[in-house]
Amino acid sequence: MASTDTGVTGPTRASIEAHTLRTDRWWIAPLTTFVVFSAFVVYATVRAFMGRDYYSSPYLSPFYSPCLGDCVEGASDFGQPFKAFPLSAALIILIFPLGFRMTCYYYRKSYYRAFWLSPPACAVAEPHQAYSGESRLPLILQNLHRYFWYAAVLVAIILSFDVVLAFRNAEHEWGHMGLGTLLMLINVVFIWLYTLSCHSCRHTVGGRLRHFSKHPVRYKLWTWVSKLNVNHGRYAWYSLFSVALVDLYIWLLATGTFDDPRFF
């Protein structure tokens, strides 16, 4: 038995001076995450503060949905209760999907490794001398994840409503479909898969149950969510790409870069 400087009595870690003994390219995953996340953050920040080119009838960018501020004509399906808000309307609602993703268990693992090197990869030493976990500010706020999940479900419902409205043409006549409709439909599918595969969703539908046999409906839901949960990280990436792609597509339409191809 040995006593360490931390005051913990027991077996200590092996005394290995090397940063890591891994010989594979372990740094590719955190580097890729760093580059992709950084690019998304820069793009989303620019688009959120632009406050324009987010609506091309009948398409509304997911960054601005629901549009509750001083929005362009046709973009506000739920009114403009925050019309006096001086900044971009996107800043009113982005806190909810952003908070959901930033506190997500998968994303936390990813950006802790990519941005804070805590640790950069399994079996690779981290540069930090102390570790306090998520027990104090600011990381204790990660415990708000479950509440952000409730908001994320509401946002997903609103985005689904936007897809329904997208089955119209520019004159709001029903029974039409364009490339933008298809992209928005794909995006909302990924959004739902990401939201429903969340660990908080799994706990909400099946947590705190002592006997599954007494709650067959919740047990069935828990089983479905558990199957989705296996691919939660994959859905996190897919939905990240799809939401940026839809916003970019609508931006190009709104600026007149090209016209929306119509299927019927």
Judge contact between 54 and 251, C-beta under 8 A: yes
The residue with tokens 């009948």 is: 58
Q: Which residues contact 216 (CB under 8 A, 6 or more apart)?
A: none
Judge contact between 257 and 169, C-beta under 8 A: no
Q: What share of the chain is helix, strand, coil (3-state, %, to 5)?
A: 55, 5, 40
Residue 84, Cβ density class (10 Å: 0-12 exposed, 13-18 middle, ≥19 buried): exposed
CA dist., res. 4 & res. 145, Å (int): 35
- CB count in 10 Å sphere of residue 24: 8
Judge contact between 64 and 72, C-beta under 8 A: no
The residue with tokens 């509304």 is: 60
Cα 263 → chain centroid: 30
Does this model's pTM top 0.85? My answer is yes
**Which of 145, 242, 138 is CA-nearest to residue 192?**
242
What's the pLDDT score for residue 3? 47
The residue with tokens 């204790």 is: 140
For residue 55, list its beta bridge partners. 60
What's the pLDDT score for residue 134? 84
What's the pLDDT score for residue 131? 76
Sequential pLDDT tens for the chain (264 residues):
444 555 556 566 567 778 888 999 999 999 999 999 999 999 999 999 999 999 999 999 999 999 999 999 999 999 999 999 999 999 999 999 999 999 999 999 999 999 999 989 999 988 887 777 788 888 899 999 999 999 999 999 999 999 999 999 989 899 999 999 999 999 999 999 999 999 999 999 988 788 888 899 999 999 999 999 999 999 999 999 999 999 999 999 999 999 999 999
Residue 25, Cβ density class (10 Å: 0-12 exposed, 13-18 middle, ≥19 buried): exposed
What's the pLDDT score for residue 1? 46
Output phi, psi for 263, to 5 deg: -85, -40
DSSP symbol at 168: B
**Which of 126, 128, 189 is CA-nearest to residue 163?**
189
Q: Residues 88-98, buried b or exposed e (16+ Cβ, 10 A)?
A: bbbbbbbebbe
CA dist., res. 195 & res. 149, Å (int): 7
